Structure 1
Amino acid sequence: MDFGALRKIVGEVLQFADIGGGVPKCGKCGGIVKPDVVLYEEALDGNTLEAAVAYIGEADVLIVGGTSLT
């Protein structure tokens, strides 16, 4: 991951939000820029969920942080 590029994108999004520009868009592809997190009531896609269940099944320890687990 190129953290320099990520910092630049985050800076652009924050500037865009400050001027009331609406939904921020990616300068390269035009897609909506959103955080890389799962928000409340937002589902994971099936492939991601299946992979997570498989990894959890093979783990010796699971640490869950920053969640309400609902």
Structure 2
Amino acid sequence: MKFVRYEINDALCRRCMACLKACPRGAVRQLPDHRLAIDQDQCDRCGTCAKRCKLRAIAMRRGLFR
């Protein structure tokens, strides 16, 4: 179980790919419909993706996740 996760807000994301290029684990991926998503199994919660997003489209959520 994980207590923190990063999520991309599709309404704010402009698909500049800064987060995808910055992720050291390759956890940010482009989906077939061109949206970006974070693979929670690959993400190590370093926050690099959120720091690189100028539009603040990536947010950290706290909770209990499976």
TM-score with structure 2 length normalisation?
A: 0.21
Q: Considering only CA atoms, is the larger Rg found in Structure 1 or Structure 2?
A: 1
Larger helix percent: 1
**Structure with a larger share of its residues in strand:** 2
The higher relative CO (CA closer than 8 Å, separation ≥ 6) is in 2
